[in-house]
Amino acid sequence: MWPALPDRPLNLYLFIPILILFLLMAHRFVAAKSKNFRLPAGPKPLPIIGNVHQMLNGRPIEIMQKWHQEYGPMVTLRYGQQLAISVGSFDIAQDLMGKRGAIYSSRPRFIIASERMTGGLNSAIIPYGKKWQNQHRIMNSVLDPSAVTRYRGVQDMESKQALVELLATSDFEASISRYAGSIVMTLGYGIRLEHTSNEIPTKLLQLNAHPFDAIGNSYYKAVELFPILDGLPGFLAPWKRLSADVERKTTEFHMKHFEVAKSASTWNWVQNALHSKAGSQTSPKELAYVIGTLEQAGFEANLTVLRLLIKVIVLHPHCLEEAQRELDRVVGPDRLPSFDDFPQLPYIKAMINEAMRWQPPTPFAIPHATTEDDEYMSYTIPNGTVIIPNIWVMSFDPDIFPEPHEFKPERWIQNPTLEHSPFGFGRRICPGRHLGWSSIFILMARLMWAYNITHAYRDGKRIDIDPWDIKITFTAASKPFEASFQVRDQKKQDIIERGWKAVRENTAEILEELRPKKTM
């Protein structure tokens, strides 16, 4: 069993006096250090806790939107003694984290999530430096566009299995979980998930949930906000034991699959890493975490977006109708959509873009951190400042996206120059974005070609969906909901069944296509 995250601190009364003493001293030090910097405007902080109390007065996304409306595209905040700047402008985010990436590409210190729960080995949250650069080289070697093209056979096979699964049930959650999980497990370890009952997708979600939820969980928040608390002895710091338990289980999961992958008959990312120059300079445990991080992030990101798109389709049936008209015109009735159809399916692309704008999968992304002082727009941004790419605020900017709360795919067709960055910015942009996009596109295009996707009914009553019933941590994930999948006609059902039969009988050949061709 994975340890549950408590809702509130244990034994907090034991270190309140210590907290007050040290934080008063820290507050004076930080205040003195930053008083000469010209910073963007922001809500007034309280001594010691900063703006934390204001973030508890509602939903963070709404509070941050209000602050940006009041103070502008850059808002200065304090989380405990940590200085932070929320960036709510795409152009400014590109300036800072893109053009000035040499300064803005690091991460804040995550005591629980990075140092304790993942041993400082999760590439998504470690600081910028030689370790991250080495890990990034390993990731890019299997995730650049040319490599991703080789994975189309696996994506084709897994999407055909998902299509045939939905002929028998409308339990789309099980099918898209297996689909997203099987793609990353096949590529990462050479392990296909052949059944929706496989427990690996659930375990992947748990692996991700603990470090990222910990940052926003009240039990750990005091430690992240006030790092001095991590120096307390173990009997006053129960988070150390819980974090160690998470780290142990995470390492066990990654190492177990790492060892399986080494001798797998199917080419996989582990084997590729072991034979690379960067991999040869990396310990087995760190390599296991590099691949494991890709597994965790790739699975949850794809699952989140696929679930969001299905919700969008149910809530906006006219969008499904428009997408089906496009698919019927471009693809026709005699075959499934293919990757080659993508350039001729602008409305499908617009639906995916609009979904990721309307409910960004990572509303605040993962914060960046500066590594030296910087001057920008008459401001002085100190070394060590946390930079929050506020993708939610950017996505709801009415000057860029009129009527931002409305779901309107057509805005991307009417204005092809619209810019959005759901995958992050600069050097820390998601390395799996090409694989993620193609996996989402091929499954959603095929689902909309094959099925009418509508509200589910129970006892003759429609089961409504609250579009804003989402859980927000580092991701914005739609809460579970039901939908009905009805195949559009018998001919499409026959094509689905024949397509799955063909790939099922040729699985070995499809997996062999993953192996890079030897160059002379």
Q: Say whether 192 sits in a helix, a strand or coil.
A: coil
- Residue 430 marked as a ligand binder: yes
Q: Which two tokens stand for residue 237?
A: 């710091």
Q: Say whether 484 sits in a helix, a strand or coil.
A: strand
Q: Phi and psi (nearest 5°) for 415?
A: -130, 80
Q: Which two tokens stand for residue 417?
A: 């120059």
Nearest residue to 296 (alpha-carbon basis) of 334, 257, 260, 264 = 257
Phi-psi region of 403 (alpha: psi -120 to 50; beta: other; left: phi over 0): left
Evaluate whether 146 touches 516 at the Cβ level (below 8 Å): no
Nearest residue to 82 (alpha-carbon basis) of 226, 219, 232, 218 = 226
DSSP-derived secondary structure for 118-148: STT--TTTSPSSHHHHHHHHHHHHHHSHHHH
Residue 183 CA: distances (Å) to CA of 145, 259, 338: 16, 19, 17
Tokens 């790739």 sit at which residue? Answer: 298
Nearest residue to 83 (alpha-carbon basis) of 51, 56, 110 = 51
Q: Tell me the C-alpha distance between 222 and 354, whole Å.
A: 36
Tokens 């590409």 sit at which residue? Answer: 105
Evaluate whether 100 touches 368 at the Cβ level (below 8 Å): no
Residues whose CB falls within 8 Å of the CB of residue 318, separated by 6 or more in sequence, listed in order: none
Evaluate whether 93 touches 87 at the Cβ level (below 8 Å): yes
Q: Tell me the C-alpha distance between 125 and 485, whole Å.
A: 38
Q: How many residues does the chain have?
A: 520
Evaluate whether 147 touches 140 at the Cβ level (below 8 Å): no
DSSP-derived secondary structure for 56-97: TSS-HHHHHHHHHHHH-SEEEEEETTEEEEEE--HHHHIIII
Crossing angle for the helix pair 284-315 and 317-330, to the nearest 10 degrees: 100
| Alpha helices in 268-400, H assignment, sequence order | 269-274, 277-280, 284-315, 317-330, 346-358, 391-395
Binding-site residue ranges for heme: 430
Binding-site residue ranges: 430
